Homo-oligomer: A and B are copies of this chain.
């Protein structure tokens, strides 16, 4: 079955990101397809490569990046939500006159249309949030 996932909260503060990750990992193991994971609201904060969690804790961002690479999952960060919260790739950084970017490997920034498309294309849409 084809799943679309929406993640509405950032890493560590709310469990939403962990729940989404564990759900996605289980779905993949069962042979399902993840059509797209869309990061919205504070969820965009899952996609910064500048996190350095404590050694004995899980690395939420790296975990998403690794999953995306291994299973070729489309991790999409909403551009409007990202601009409000300071998540930028090289293009966005340049366009907005910033001197740095912070996007993590495996994530891409795109528009809200990607969420709608996932909702239409997927067999099941599952939302994780606060």
A residues 1-40 in Cβ contact with B at 8 Å: 10-13
Interface of A is mostly: loop
The docked-state distance in angstroms from the alpha carbon of A1 to that of B25 is 53
The docked-state distance in angstroms from the alpha carbon of A54 to that of B82 is 11
The docked-state distance in angstroms from the alpha carbon of A45 to that of B87 is 11
Tally of contact residues, A, Cβ under 8 A: 30
Residues in chain A within 8 A of chain B (CB atoms): 10-13, 41-42, 45, 48-54, 57, 61, 80, 83-88, 92-93, 96, 98, 100-102
Partner of A53, one of B50, B51, B83, B101: B83
Judge whether B10 and A98 touch: CB under 8 Å.
Answer: no
| B residues near A96, Cβ cutoff 8 Å | 52
